[in-house]
A and B are shown apart, each in its own frame.
Chain A
Amino acid sequence: MEPKPRLLAILDIVTTALFVVAVGMVFFYAPTEAVMGQVQRVFYFHVSAGWVGMLSFLTAAVAGIIYLRTGRRHWDIIGLSAVEIGIAFIFVNIVTGSIWARPIWNTWWTWDPRLTTATIMELIYAAYLMLRQGIEEPERRARFGAVYAILGFVSVPLTFMSARLFRTIHPVVIGTNQPGAEGSFDMTPKMLQTFMFSLLTFTFIFIDLLWHRVRLGRLADRVEEIKLKVTV
């Protein structure tokens, strides 16, 4: 069992502290938005979760490239960990996006290009896991995972562009001529600060979770090794 590195312990503390402050800022520091009311507070973590999703995707793709070039198992674990985290946070992003939409546009879903792209990303992540589940040999599993992570990542900007182009032609929320129809609102300085701080906090959360999850993956590998040794 790898002992927990000192740096990780420090990171845990820092991340937790940041999170507490961020929550405080969201509920007590940021003002209430005039048009949307309290539900707008969801926005800070909604976008931050989406941000973590993007980081995860990027990490998985880069880890994939490095794995293909070096063949080192470590990078496969990083890729898988990143995808797992991505699934969780994009899920948050999608659901909070839906919850935010409901009171404002009286619909549970808008085909907003960002939300649409997030949903497709989630599906790509799920497909990644299903691909891995269908392969027995760890080496091939890692290789195919890496390839799919790269392809998935490359597709995201294209998907976003097509969703956006589609949307400019089909204003989706019918009968809405509110200026806030894109979910935009003017951010006061306090809101902006809260927003930026949330992004920072969630970046730390991503790194912290990734590290923990990678350690878990390495532990799993070691268990597998001994398992093979003992059962042979």
Chain B
Amino acid sequence: MMLLQQAPPDTTGYMIAGYVVIFGVMMLYLVSIAVRRRNLERDMEVLKELDKKDS
């Protein structure tokens, strides 16, 4: 009777695609926060300089 059990279909490709999306999007979001942070910190530096010059 064990012979009647089929192996599950090979859907590994889809699983990989799914996880590429999951990790990819999460990574992208993290990177976006990091990049924005860096840009803002840089702006902050510049502005602080300007502010010092004014006062």
Residues of chain A touching chain B, judged by Cβ–Cβ distance below 8 Å, are 1, 32-42, 45-46, 49, 84-85, 88-89, 91-92, 95-96, 99-100, 102-104, 205, 209, 212-213, 216, 219-220, 222-223, 226-227, 229-230
A36→B18 contact, CB < 8 A = no
Q: Helix, strand, loop or mixed for chain A's interface?
A: helix
Size class of the contact patch on chain B: 20 to 34
Q: Is A1's CB under 8 angstroms from B41's CB?
A: yes
Contact B10 A219 (CB under 8 A): no
Q: A99 contacts B17, CB within 8 Å?
A: yes
In the complex the two chains form, what is the Cα distance from A95 to B26 in whole Å? 13
Please encode chain B, from 7 to 43, with 1 for each CB lying within 8 Å of some chain A CB and 0 for all others.
Answer: 0111110110111011001101110010011001101
Q: Which of A42, A95, A103, A216 contacts B37 (CB 8 A)?
A: A216
Known A35-B8, A88-B25; judge A103-B51 contact (CB<8 A): no
A216 in contact with B36 (CB, 8 Å):
yes
In whole angstroms, how far apart are the Cα atoms of A33 and B26 in the complex? 26
Residue of A nearest to B6 (CB): A34
Contact B21 A96 (CB under 8 A): yes
Alpha-carbon gap, A30 to B12, bound state (A): 15
Contact call B8/A223, Cβ cutoff below 8 A: no
Q: Which 5 A-B pairs have the closest CB atoms?
A: A42-B18, A39-B11, A37-B11, A37-B8, A39-B14
Instruction: Give CA–CA (A220, B51) in the complex, Å.
Output: 17
